[in-house]
Amino acid sequence: MNDYNFAYLDEGTKRMIRRAILKAVAVPGYQVPFASREMPMPYGWGTGGVQVTAACLRPDDRLKVIDQGADDTTNAVSIRKFFQRTARVATTERTGDATIIQTRHRIPEAPLSEGQILVYQVPIPEPLRFLEPRETETRRMHALQEYGLMHLKLYEDIARHGEIATSYAYPVQVSGRYVMDPSPIPKFDNPKLSNCPALQLFGAGREQRIYAVPPYTQVISLDFEDHPFVATKAPHACDLCGDDGSYLDEVITDDAGRRMFICSDTDHCNSRRAAGHVGALTGDAA
């Protein structure tokens, strides 16, 4: 199947997207409008991420695709297959071996390194959207760095609940300037955004926006001095690999509502188990 150009998009479109990426890298956290194309998968399935990945891919790249931290979720499989077919690039499940990682909702547990690109799929790029539905208005607010509304929302959370009641897509400020939506990653992942050696690119296809966090850029999760940001996770260790520092999925295992906790990052969990780590449910069986 080689009827399509390398990585599906035509060269003119890729050039247009690369220009938007360059601008995004030059102005960290700023949402650059781009002429998003209609892709052969639906909006909401990662069309923004797919276009960014397509624009960055080279034939010698090694691609990893994850959804919910896992390489084997259906949409991750589907997107990986798309690039195998249209770009014939090598793929991998190993975080360390990948040159480009496209992700939905997670940052891998293993630290990223220089030269890697992490591409996020973004549904709603505008962190202020749920406070102000108008694009014309939110663009003005960013231009004037008028972020009072966001701080007010966080303050109201504390007044009502005693803590900031945002657990994912937790807003950040990039390089002391733009407030940015880190995509719907759990706030557990937020600290990994900052000072990351890899280039982080964010693509929102339906909303036609690209933004970026260049390597080694400071990214701060919004908080208050007396209510500092805390990265949270389920208070358990992985039942398969025993890690108590990784982000966990909760799996209901029977009709009585019993549950187990396992690493959301499948590569992380598999690597640990291969290295001999065991969890509560694998201790004896292993």
Partner 1 sequence: MYVAVKGGERAIDNAHAFLAEARRGDPTVPELTVPQIREQMALAVARVMAEGSLYDADLAALAIKQARGDLIEAIFLIRAYRTTLPRFGSSRPVDTGTMAVVRRVSATFKDVPGGQVLGPTFDYTHRLLDFALAAEGAPPKAPKAETLGPMPRVGEHLDREGLIEPEPAPDPACAPPPPDLTRTPLELPAERALRLQALARGDEGFLLSLAYSSQRGYGRTHPFVGELRIGEVMVEVEIPELGLTIALGSITVTECETVNQFTGSKTQPAQFTRGYGLVMGHSERKAIAMSLVDRALRWQELGEESTGAPVQDAEFVLMHADNIQATGFLEHIKLPHYVDFQSELELVRRLRAAAHDHESKQVPEGQEAAE
Q: Which of residues 230-269 bind partner 1 (CB under 8 A)?
A: 232-234, 239-240, 247-251, 253, 260, 262, 264, 266
> Is position 184 an interface residue for partner 1 (rule: CB under 8 A)?
yes
Confirm or reject binding of residue 211 to partner 1 (CB under 8 A).
Answer: no
Q: Which listed range, 93-101, 134-142, 143-151, 195-203, lies at the site for partner 1 (CB under 8 A)?
A: 134-142
84: contact with partner 1 by CB under 8 A: no
Tokens representing 12?
């003119």
Nearest to 65 by CA among 281, 279, 266: 266
Q: Is residue 201 a contact partner of residue 21, using CB atoms and an 8 Å limit?
A: yes
Calculate the alpha carbon distances from 104 to 53, 79, 189, 205, 224 in Å: 13, 11, 12, 13, 28
Active site residue 29: yes
Site track for partner 1 across 151-170, x = CB under 8 A: ----------xxx-x-xxx-
Q: Which of 205, 242, 269, 279 is catalytic?
A: 269
Tokens coding 35:
């002429």
- Do residues 49 and 101 lie in contact, with contact meaning Cβ atoms separated by under 8 Å? no
Q: Per rule CB under 8 A, is residue 68 in the interface with partner 1?
A: yes
Q: How far apart are CA 157 and CA 257, in angstroms?
A: 31
CB 179 within 8 A of CB 150: yes
DSSP state of 224: B
86 counts as binding partner 1 under rule CB under 8 A: no
Q: Which of 1, 38, 226, 228 binds partner 1 (CB under 8 A)?
A: 38
Q: Does 97 bind partner 1 (CB under 8 A)?
A: no
Residue 183: which of 66, 279, 104 has the closest Cα? 104
State the number of binding residues for partner 1 (CB under 8 A). Answer: 63
Applying CB under 8 A, does 10 fall inside the site for partner 1?
Answer: yes
Phi, psi torsion values for 199, nearest 5 degrees: -80, 130
Burial of 7 (0-12, 13-18, 19+ CB in 10 A): buried
**Contact call for residues 201 and 119 (beta carbons, < 8 A):** yes
User: Minimal distance in Å, beta carbon 257 to partner 1?
Assistant: 13
Q: Which of 15, 22, 26, 35 binds partner 1 (CB under 8 A)?
A: 35
* CA distance linking residue 97 with residue 91, whole number of Å: 9
- Tokens 């693509």 identify what position? 203
Q: Which is nearer to partner 1, 118 or 217 (CB)?
A: 118
Q: Is 56 a catalytic residue?
A: no
Q: Which residue of the set 46, 56, 203, 241 is catalytic?
A: 241
196 carries an active-site annotation: no
**Of 29, 46, 48, 69, which is the active-site residue?**
29
Which residue ranges make up the site for partner 1 (CB under 8 A)? 4, 10, 33-40, 42-45, 47, 67-69, 72-78, 81, 105-106, 123, 134-136, 161-163, 165, 167-169, 184-188, 206, 208, 232-234, 239-240, 247-251, 253, 260, 262, 264, 266, 281, 285
Active site residues: 29, 238, 241, 263, 269
